[in-house]
């Protein structure tokens, strides 16, 4: 574990820096492959002769497996080793993306989705836990770097799939993902501390639930994170559709505005993480949710394309500043020997509930409008902002 007294040392230096590079590049590859799937859905529908609803069910399966894998990933990394779970997750992802690149039936597509969801779910929390082990109190900074690397991958996904589809071989979309994941797998085998440990592990769901929910601050933060996750997944899932239906954007302009979310995330993630380490992670969370609220109001009420784009950028700034600082804060609430499982349990809950946000948007938009659906996210974020503000005030009072 890194000596937290050397906070002035670059996070990129030495063996710790190599681990940061490997984990960040791994997350970039995961996001590149995962976000390449939605643009390929029309092609898969044609090639496999399936319906849009059938394809949508496949995506739901992938996201559900991803959410449900968060807790086992964290728990196993606590009981066995971070290295064991991370290398296993990377191997699973490689097999999953190979399956997707060779798919010829719907059953094969579902199998690929299951493997990708499982591998990604097993990767996220152990990678965060290993970064926390390695960097100690600087974890917010490195969480921000890893988040930004994932945004780079997500932003590049559309370009990679466009090139692959344009030359008529959509399977090429996954080849760079597979190659990078293999490189990261061997890098972690060489650089990550710890040994491979195989054994039976009790998931201890009851014990974890009681331990996490016994911390009143963790309960409050879980409520705040559920609200932010719900707003984020709904906003991201329907942003291009909202812009085209409510603001009369062209498909190209809506796509560019959507891509700007990931560009903003690349910049904001590391800055927010570092700022949270330096001052107060909860305070940065308060500001982030408040900024997102302002951005949503600007976006919903905008009367021109330029103002709407400004609103998108402001929303993205707030929503992408939140994860690195609040995950760094949350992981610090739990004991070192259970922090992976504890964070994984909470992420399973907020990701699982957040996954229903696109359904909410679809229902509200069908009956009323996308604008009204997005207005509901203002209320969600207001709840999160109030909860975080109360935590910040109580924390400040305790330390004064």
Distance, in Å, from the CA atom of 139 to the CA atom of 129, rounded to the nearest integer, reads 9
What distance in Å separates the CA atoms of residue 14 and residue 19, rounded to the nearest whole number?
9
Q: What span, in angstroms and rounded, lies between the C-alpha atoms of 7 and 3?
A: 8
In sequence order, which residues have a C-beta less than 8 Å from that of residue 231 and are 6 or more positions away?
292, 319, 357, 377, 380, 381
**Whole-number pLDDT of residue 163:** 85
User: What does the pLDDT look like over 340-354, one tens digit per residue?
Assistant: 778 778 888 888 888
Burial class of 47 by CB neighbour count within 10 A (0 to 12, 13 to 18, 19+): middle
Distance (Å, whole) CA 163 – CA 181 = 20
User: Cα separation of 84 and 373, whole Å?
Assistant: 42
Quote the tokens at residue 312.
């998108």
Supply 311's token pair: 């609103």
233 vs 359: CA distance, rounded Å: 10
Q: Which two tokens stand for residue 307?
A: 């103002």
The rounded distance, in Å, linking the Cα atoms of 61 and 105 is 16
| pLDDT tens for the 400 residues of the chain, in order | 444 444 557 888 788 889 899 999 999 999 999 888 877 877 888 888 888 778 877 877 888 898 888 888 888 887 778 889 999 999 999 999 999 999 989 999 999 999 999 999 999 889 988 888 888 778 888 888 988 898 899 888 878 888 888 888 888 889 999 999 999 999 998 887 767 667 666 666 666 666 667 667 888 899 999 999 999 988 887 888 788 889 998 877 887 888 888 889 889 988 998 898 888 999 999 999 999 999 999 999 999 999 999 999 999 999 999 998 998 888 888 777 777 778 778 888 888 888 788 878 888 888 888 899 999 999 999 999 999 999 999 888 777 6
Domains of the chain: 11-192 (1.20.1250.20), 203-400 (1.20.1250.20)
Which has the closest alpha carbon to 120: 103, 95, 145, 137?
A: 95
pLDDT at 211: 67
- 254 touches 118 (CB < 8 A): no
Residue 305 pLDDT: 94
């Amino acid at each position: 574990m890194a000596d937290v007294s050397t906070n002035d040392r670059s996070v990129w230096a030495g063996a710790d820096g190599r681990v940061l590079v490997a984990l960040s590049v791994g997350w970039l590859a995961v996001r590149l492959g995962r976000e390449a799937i939605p643009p390929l859905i029309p092609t898969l529908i044609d090639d496999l002769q399936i319906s849009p609803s059938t394809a949508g069910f496949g995506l739901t399966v992938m996201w559900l497996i991803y959410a449900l894998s968060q807790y086992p990933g964290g728990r196993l990394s606590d009981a066995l080793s971070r290295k064991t779970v991370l290398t296993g997750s990377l191997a699973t992802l490689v097999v999953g993306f190979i399956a997707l690149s060779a798919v010829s039936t719907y059953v094969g597509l579902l199998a690929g989705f299951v493997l990708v969801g499982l591998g990604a779910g097993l990767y996220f929390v152990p990678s965060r836990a290993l970064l926390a082990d390695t960097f100690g109190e600087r974890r917010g900074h490195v969480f921000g770097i890893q988040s930004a690397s994932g945004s780079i991958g997500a932003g590049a996904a559309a370009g990679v799939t466009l090139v692959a589809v344009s030359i008529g071989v959509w399977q090429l979309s996954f080849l760079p993902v597979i190659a990078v994941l293999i490189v990261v797998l061997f890098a972690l085998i060489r650089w990550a501390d710890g040994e491979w440990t195989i054994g039976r592990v009790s998931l201890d769901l009851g014990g974890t639930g009681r331990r996490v929910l016994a911390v009143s601050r963790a309960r409050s933060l879980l409520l705040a994170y559920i609200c932010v996750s719900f707003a984020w997944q709904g906003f991201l899932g329907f942003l291009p559709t909202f812009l085209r239906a409510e603001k009369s954007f062209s498909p190209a302009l809506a796509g560019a505005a959507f891509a700007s979310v990931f560009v903003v995330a690349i910049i904001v993630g590391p800055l927010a993480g570092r700022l949270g380490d330096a001052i107060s992670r909860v305070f940065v969370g308060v500001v982030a949710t408040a900024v997102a609220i302002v951005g949503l109001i600007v976006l919903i009420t905008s009367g021109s394309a330029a103002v709407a784009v400004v609103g998108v950028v402001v929303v993205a700034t707030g929503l992408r500043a939140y994860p690195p600082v609040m995950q760094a804060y949350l992981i610090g609430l739990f004991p070192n020997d259970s922090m992976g499982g504890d964070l994984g349990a909470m992420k399973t809950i907020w990701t699982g509930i957040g996954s229903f946000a696109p359904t909410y948007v679809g229902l509200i938009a069908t009956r009323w409008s996308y604008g009204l659906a997005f207005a509901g996210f203002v209320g969600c974020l207001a709840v999160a902002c109030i909860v975080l503000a109360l935590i910040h005030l109580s924390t400040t009072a305790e330390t004064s």
